[in-house]
Amino acid sequence: MSRTAVLVSCAELPTGDGDDDAVVPALTSLGFSVEWAPWDSSFDFSSADAVILRATWDYAARRPEFLAWCESVPSLVNSAAVVRWNTDKSYLVELLDAGLAVVPTSLVAPGSSPSFPSSDFVVKPSVGAGSRGAARFASGADASAHVASLHAEGHTALIQPYQSSVDTDGELALVYLGGVYSHAFTKGAMLGSTLDSSGLYLAEELAPASPPADAVALAEDVLDAASALLGILRAELLYARVDLVRGADGKPLLLELELAEPSLGFRQTDPGAAMRFASAVRQQLA
């Protein structure tokens, strides 16, 4: 029986950025007919068996419209409820409150005034992707103008101490497929690098990695806690990427949990990862 899988992109990058290229033949070999389509196109998403968010890089500026579209698609993975929760970084505060090791995070909603950490710090929009709107400030700097510009665009600002391990070690991204660990890669420091030629995201430097045990342990706790907050099983997450940094004490901290459209680093890992992804899609439909 042939089934259809749609990989969802955006108008500017209709077939993604290349990271998912190996996923297409893997899905095909497991019986899917595969197509790419931008989320805001006239494509008929309602008849597909699996509609997989992969490269919807432009949602941040149009999140209400994007979430309404997600809710209109019956077979969206990850689900619209997961996407709603995960596309606002306020979830970091929920995970902090659940007792997880998360980069200290404070939220400044439009109308309230910020207070800044005494160390170097980062100000970024709570809804954002591809590092857009994120800026680093030196300790003592007045970032009020940046907060005000995020507020003027309707964003809540998110303030975190700058984690300087990003400059030396980068971020460690652990990828889970169907709730099960698949592979990991590192990502270099982003703030200070330049936008990709598409202008949609900062060009990233990725390399394969074998995660140490303390990083895997935190990633597992993050997935359990996120699934509990969402009221779902881990296995219901087709994909999850857990981005970790090391704090000043050397212990891993969660920087971001990506459940909406993360780059999964297929080009940085073993060719089996694309097949594990395709198998996880089959599991979602079973």
Residues that bind Mg ion (CB under 5 A): 256
Q: Which does 129 bind (CB under 5 to 8 A by kind): Mg ion, ligand ADP, none?
A: ligand ADP
Residue 93's binding partner out of ligand ADP, Mg ion, none, with CB under 5 to 8 Å set by partner kind: none
Q: Enter the DSSP assignment of 121.
A: E
Q: Does 256 bind ligand ADP (CB under 6 A)?
A: yes
Residues within window 105-124 making contact with ligand ADP, judged by CB under 6 A: 122, 124
Choose, by CB under 6 A, the member of 93, 134, 148, 235 that binds ligand ADP. Answer: 134
Question: Per CB under 6 A, does 235 bind ligand ADP?
Answer: no
Among 38, 128, 211, 252, binds ligand ADP (CB under 6 A): 128
DSSP H or E run through 217: helix 213-230
276: helix, strand or coil: helix
**Residue number with the smallest Cβ distance to ligand ADP:** 190
Which residues, 6+ apart, have CB-to-CB distance to 62 below 8 Å?
none
Distance in angstroms (rounded) separating the CA atoms of residues 8 and 265: 17
Measured in whole angstroms, the distance separating CA 194 from the mean position of its chain's CA atoms is: 19
The count of chain residues that interact with ligand ADP, using the rule CB under 6 A, is 18
With beta carbons less than 8 A apart as the criterion, state whether 180 and 124 touch: no
Residue 157 binds ligand ADP (CB under 6 A):
no
Stretch that binds ligand ADP, among 44-52, 110-118, 160-168, 264-272 (CB under 6 A): 160-168
Q: Which does 135 bind (CB under 5 to 8 A by kind): Mg ion, ligand ADP, none?
A: none
Which of 24/255 has CB closer to ligand ADP?
Answer: 255
Distance of CA 174 to the CA centre of its chain: 11
Can you tell me which of 78, 87, 126, 163 binds ligand ADP, judged by CB under 6 A?
163
Hey, what are 67's tokens? Answer: 């979430």
Nearer of residues 22 and 190 to ligand ADP, judged by Cβ: 190
Task: Could you list the beta-strand ranges (E) of the chain.
Answer: 3-9, 32-38, 50-53, 76-77, 106-108, 121-125, 135-137, 157-161, 171-177, 180-187, 206-208, 239-246, 252-258
Enclosing H/E stretch for 66: helix 63-72
Nearest residue (CB) to Mg ion, 50 versus 89: 89
